[in-house]
Structure formats: C-alpha cells, structure tokens
C-alpha cells in the first residue's frame, strides 16, 4: 500500500533545483534513505513532502489524497517530521515537550489523558530518557535534546515519518539505538531518513534516493543503487566498497 | 504546588489585596467605615472616598495590569521571545499616540478612544513585525532594537502632539501618558475586554503551547500558522489598546509578570495565561497603591513604580541570556 506518491515532482529552492520530474512511491514497511551533498536540498525535499515547502510542479499524494487538499491538522495525524534543529525559547519539562506530539490528536479543549501520559513515558523510555521526564528542556545536551525530539515524534504515532538527520549529535551507541528503534516493528509505517552516513543507510534502510547536486535523482533498492560509482559521483569524492563479514561497507578514499 | 491550586491562591490574593488597598491612602479609614461604605448606602465623605475614589481606582489598576500581562504573554509566544512586552515593542506607544490624537480632536467616549488605540496598536505591531521579521526568523536583538526604535518614534509623535495641545489639557494628558490611574472612573469597559480576551486566549492556549516550540515544529504538529499568528496579533493589540485607554502606557508589566509565573514552574499556557492575568492585576494594584501612599498626599504615576521593578529585571535577563 502506498503512503506517499510523488507524481513528476519538481522542487526548487532559491537557485537550487532539488529534483525534477521525480516519480516515487513510498510503501508501508519501507525504510528510505535520502543521501546527497550539503546544500543539495535534502531538507527542502523532506519539507516539501510534509507540505511545508511549495512544489515547483507535479503533485504529492498522501494515502492517495492530494497533499494540497488536506488540512495541516489531518496531515499531522498521518505524517510526522523530525526537524534538523530543535528550538527552545521557553523553559519547560522534557515530559511536556514530548506530550506536544499528541497535539494533532487532541481537540482544542481536550487535555492530555492518562493514556497520552503513558505514551509519552513509554517513548521517553524507548529513547533511554525515562529519568529525565521532569528535567528542564533547557538543561539537556545536544544528543539528549535530539532523543527527546525523537520521543515527541514517536508519540505523534503517524504512519509516515520523515526524519531529517535523526542521528545528529548522537554518539555511535545512540545512533544505532535510535535507528533500530525507528526501523523495527514498523510493518504499517514508512520512514524516510536524511542521512550522511552511507553505512547507516545501507544497514537500516531498504531503499535509497540519491539527490545529486545538479538536480538529478536516482532511486531504488539499496542493493541496486548503492555502489562505488554512484556514491563517488554523488559526493564528488572517491568512495570505496569493501566486503567484510558478508556485508558491503563504503569508505571514503 | 499544583497549577490549579496556584490559580485559586492568586484569586484569593487578588480579593484580599483589593480590599486591603481600600484602607491605604492619605486618609486613614477604619474597618467599620470601609464595611459600611461598601455595603450600606451612605453619603459621608469617608464613604465617598471608598466608593468614588479608592474602589474604582483599585479595580481599574487590577484590570489594567491584567490586560497588559495577558497581552505580554501572548506577544512573547508570537515572537518567541520572553523579553517581549507591549511597552518595549512600542505597541503601547502606538496606541497612546492614537489616543492623544483622538483627545486633541475632542474624542471622549472610551469606546471611541479604544477604537483609536486598537488601530494604533495594530499599526505599531505591524511596523515592528515588518521591519524585524526577515527571512522567516525572529532575531531577538533585531526585534528588540526595532521595538525600541519604533517606540522612540512614537515618543517623538507624542511630544509633537503635546506641544500643540491646549495648555489646560496638558496636565491630564501628561499624567495619563505616564501611566496614571487617578483619572480612572469606570473600569467596566476594561473588565469586559479582559474577560473576552481571556476566553479567546484560553481557546488558543493549547496551540500556544505548540507554537512556543517554533513555527516549523508547530506546522508539523498541525497548526495553521498564518491563522494563529493573526489571531494572536489581533488579540494582543486589543488587550493593549484597552489597557492604554484605561491608564496610559504603563511599562514592563507584560514582561515582568509572565516571567515571574514561569519561575514558579508554570509553563503550560492553559495555566500560564490565567495566572499571568491575575498576577498582572495584582502587580499593578500593589504598585498603584504604593504610588498613592509613599509620598501621600502627593501621588506618583504608577508607571514609575513598574519601571523601577521592570528595568532592572529586564537588564538582568538580557545579561544572563548574553552569557548563555
């Protein structure tokens, strides 16, 4: 079942052509990685899929309905987006910050229920921050703040999750914990990750979308698309493939 | 303390302080006099002091403070900066300028003046936003700087109006401008604006909780940004306008009070807004009672007292933020 479908989608930001005539379908249970150089427009593409950036041409369908015809609130019930940077201007607890993820599911006069609280506690436990529930959000380190953002995304409980550099600020252990958490038990969910680590993409994702600097794109299964030639072209830097323990690894030359 | 108990505490404190303020002033009054003048019809001079002077003034002070604190709390969410305040951003200045023009042209009804103040506040906020809002981001320094400069512009406009005003109006205009409650007779209008404002902002409060986390995140969580921004913008302008018409421009209340409430640990706007409303009322009531008793029978404009509290706090926070 397709969750997102792009029909000859073109996206442009300022002078950068991010993609042109992209036809892509994201199905349930799939994990996609978006790879590309800095400034090629990966974030813009993700924001476009979330309806936060206008399309240049073409269309996007969410669950077979045109994105333009869905209200922000209905989009938020089906699609979540982990932003690259977390903003905190006001004090508040970690738990409050996570509970914000329930907003699209609550009526304006409705308070968070006992179940919502439990959901938030569970999400905090999943990112290993249970004991931080009452801590001030302003006292967290970059990596801890990032995990709180992941927990907020989890309680939003959407079928489609767009994640802009979810492993930003995370140490190696937590990078894998978060990727495992997001990619396991998701038979009815589709993830799209913007990543900078090819090996992380290769390990946790089944599909990949390469966004070249000139606005060309290439997509398919990891096995088909991830190879020395494509990656060297993509990053304009020699990338070598090595085989170890029956797996492919990519190392910058 | 649970936020709800805190709200009840503030309600009780408000009532106690309104009653306490009736005893304060240049003429000492006994408990019996206050009681009888409140609940029995009387035309004695001491009764008149209560019913015609002190009670209306206490209520006007409370309403003004409540309006300003609520406006401040809303503006802080809108610009995502805890230093925002109707006075600092020049919104009170815009409203005051419009009211003075109205006075010069002979307007006297509070609805007419509030209408003008509302237009003045909308224009002032719009100006600050247009200039400070660039590339979709609010730079705190840029916003504050713009607010201060625009406020200086309103100051100049006010000086111009005062200099061409007839001399017999001047004293009243000046005192009103400095934030003065001694001319307040009825606060019914301010209380109506306050009540409507509070209901409307409570309806928005859960969305405000999301908006403080940033425009982008709020969008991803289902907020229609443009609509919400416009609602807050209009609501904050209306509240400021009602406060300015009631008592001129009293500074810093909208910034001090939400900050103090946040210090108690209340960050959820469903509690923060009513708490700030009550707290603002309390602050201005206490400040005004002090203003009319410190050097009684001489009276000070209440704006001087709030500035004495607000300016050091503002500078302290600015310096602390610069260190972080």
CB B122 within 8 A of CB B98: no
CA-to-CA separations, B122 to A41, A162, B139, B233, in angstroms, rounded = 38, 38, 21, 8
Which of B11-19's residues contact partners 24+ apart within 8 Å by CB, and which partners? B11/B278, B13/B278, B13/B282, B14/B62, B14/B278, B14/B281, B14/B282, B14/B285, B17/B282, B17/B285, B17/B286, B17/B289, B18/B55, B18/B58, B18/B59, B18/B62, B18/B285
Do A90 and B210 make contact, defined as CB atoms within 8 angstroms? no
For residue A111, which residues of chain B lie inside 8 Å, CB to CB? Answer: 270
A199-236, pLDDT tens digit by residue?
999 999 999 999 999 889 999 999 999 999 999 999 99
For residue B236, the model assigns a pLDDT of 92
A31-36 and A190-194: which strand pairing?
Answer: parallel
A96-126, pLDDT tens digit by residue?
999 999 999 998 778 899 999 999 999 999 9
Average pLDDT score over residue span A131-152: 94
Do B267 and A73 make contact, defined as CB atoms within 8 angstroms? no
Q: How confident is residue B318, by pLDDT bands cut at 50, 70 and 90?
A: confident
For residue A15, the model assigns a pLDDT of 87
Do B267 and A90 make contact, defined as CB atoms within 8 angstroms? yes
Q: How far apart are CA A145 and CA A124, in angstroms?
A: 11
Q: Does any CB of chain A come closer than 8 Å to the CB of residue B223?
A: yes
Q: Which two tokens stand for residue B132?
A: 């400070």
Q: Which residue of B has its CA nearest to A137?
A: B213
Mean pLDDT of chain B: 85
Using CA atoms of B137, B142, B147, B149 in order, give the dihedral in degrees to the nearest 10. -150
ipTM computed for the complex: 0.91
For residue A97, which residues of chain B lie inside 8 Å, CB to CB? Answer: 213
Average pLDDT score over residue span B223-239: 91
In CATH, the number for domain B3-323 is 1.10.3470.10
Question: Between B282 and B251, where is the model more confident?
Answer: B282
Q: Which residue of A has its CA nearest to B80?
A: A89
Q: Which two tokens stand for residue A12?
A: 């442009």
For residue B13, the model assigns a pLDDT of 96
Separation in Å, CA of A117 to nearest CA in chain B: 15
CB B210 within 8 A of CB B221: yes
For residue A156, which residues of chain B lie inside 8 Å, CB to CB? Answer: 221
CB B89 within 8 A of CB B77: no
For residue A29, the model assigns a pLDDT of 93
Q: Which residue of B has its CA nearest to A102?
A: B221
For residue B39, the model assigns a pLDDT of 74
Could you tell me how many CB contacts below 8 A there are between chain A and chain B? 75
Share of chain B above pLDDT 90, in %: 35
Q: Which of A72, A110, A156 sits opposite B219 (nearest CB)?
A: A72
Question: Between A154 and B320, where is the model more confident?
Answer: A154
The yes-or-no verdict on residue B322 having pLDDT over 70 is no
Q: Does any CB of chain B come closer than 8 Å to the CB of residue A192?
A: no
B133-146, pLDDT tens digit by residue?
765 566 667 777 88
pTM: 0.89
The yes-or-no verdict on residue A129 having pLDDT over 90 is yes
Average pLDDT score over residue span B66-84: 91
Do A90 and B212 make contact, defined as CB atoms within 8 angstroms? yes
Q: Round to the nearest angstrom and report the end-to-end CA distance of chain B.
A: 29
Looking at chain A, how many residues does it have?
253
Assigned CATH class of A2-89+158-252: alpha beta
């Amino acid at each position: 079942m397709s969750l997102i479908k792009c029909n000859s989608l073109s996206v442009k930001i300022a002078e950068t052509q991010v993609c042109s005539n992209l036809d892509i379908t994201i199905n349930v249970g799939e994990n996609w990685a978006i790879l590309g150089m800095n400034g090629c427009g990966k974030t813009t593409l993700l924001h476009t899929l979330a309806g936060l950036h206008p399309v240049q041409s073409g269309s996007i369908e969410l669950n077979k309905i045109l994105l333009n015809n869905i209200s922000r609130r209905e989009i938020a019930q089906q699609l979540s987006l982990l932003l690259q940077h977390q903003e905190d201007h006001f004090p508040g607890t970690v738990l409050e910050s996570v509970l914000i993820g329930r907003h699209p599911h609550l009526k304006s006069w409705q308070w968070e229920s006992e179940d919502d609280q439990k959901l938030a506690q569970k999400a905090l436990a999943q990112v290993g921050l249970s004991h931080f529930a009452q801590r001030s959000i302003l006292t967290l380190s970059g990596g801890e703040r990032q995990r709180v953002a992941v927990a907020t995304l989890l309680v939003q409980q959407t079928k489609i999750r767009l994640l802009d550099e979810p492993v930003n600020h995370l140490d190696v252990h937590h990078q894998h914990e978060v990727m495992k958490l997001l990619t396991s038990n998701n038979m009815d969910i589709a993830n799209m990750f913007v990543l900078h680590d090819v090996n992380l993409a290769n390990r946790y994702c089944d599909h990949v979308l390469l966004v070249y600097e000139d606005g060309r794109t290439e997509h398919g299964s990891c096995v088909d698309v991830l190879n020395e030639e494509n990656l060297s072209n993509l990053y304009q830097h020699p990338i070598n493939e090595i085989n170890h323990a029956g797996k492919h690894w990519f190392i910058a030359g | 303390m649970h936020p709800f108990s805190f709200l009840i505490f503030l309600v009780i404190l408000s009532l106690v302080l309104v009653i306490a303020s009736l005893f304060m002033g240049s003429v000492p009054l006994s408990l019996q006099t206050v009681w009888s003048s409140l609940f029995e019809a009387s035309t004695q001079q001491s009764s008149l002091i209560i019913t015609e002077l002190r009670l209306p003034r206490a209520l006007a002070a409370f309403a003004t403070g409540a309006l300003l604190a609520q406006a401040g709390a809303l503006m802080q969410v809108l610009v995502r900066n805890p230093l925002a305040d109707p006075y600092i951003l020049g919104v009170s200045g815009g409203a005051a300028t419009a009211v003075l023009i109205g006075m010069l042209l002979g307007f006297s009804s509070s609805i007419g003046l509030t209408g003008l103040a509302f237009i003045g506040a909308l224009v002032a906020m719009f100006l600050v936003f247009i200039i400070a809002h660039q590339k979709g981001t609010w730079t705190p320094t840029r916003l504050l700087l713009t607010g201060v400069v625009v406020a200086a512009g309103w100051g100049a406009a006010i000086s111009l109006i005062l200099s061409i005003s007839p001399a017999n109006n001047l004293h009243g205009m000046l005192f009103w401008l400095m934030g003065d409650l001694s001319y307040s007779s009825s606060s019914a209008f301010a209380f109506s604006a306050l009540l409507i404002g509070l209901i409307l902002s409570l309806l928005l409060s859960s969305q405000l909780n999301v908006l403080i986390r940033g425009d982008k995140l709020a969008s991803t969580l289902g907020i229609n940004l443009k609509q919400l921004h416009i609602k807050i913008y209009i609501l904050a302008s209306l509240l400021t306008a009602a406060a300015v018409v009631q008592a001129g421009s009293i500074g810093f209340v909208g910034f001090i009070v939400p900050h103090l409430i946040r210090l108690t640990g209340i960050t959820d706007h469903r509690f923060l807004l009513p708490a700030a409303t009550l707290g603002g009322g309390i602050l201005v009531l206490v400040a005004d009672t002090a203003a009319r008793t410190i050097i009684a029978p001489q009276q000070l404009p209440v704006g001087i007292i709030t500035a004495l509290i607000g300016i050091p706090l503002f500078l302290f926070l600015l310096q602390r933020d610069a260190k972080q």
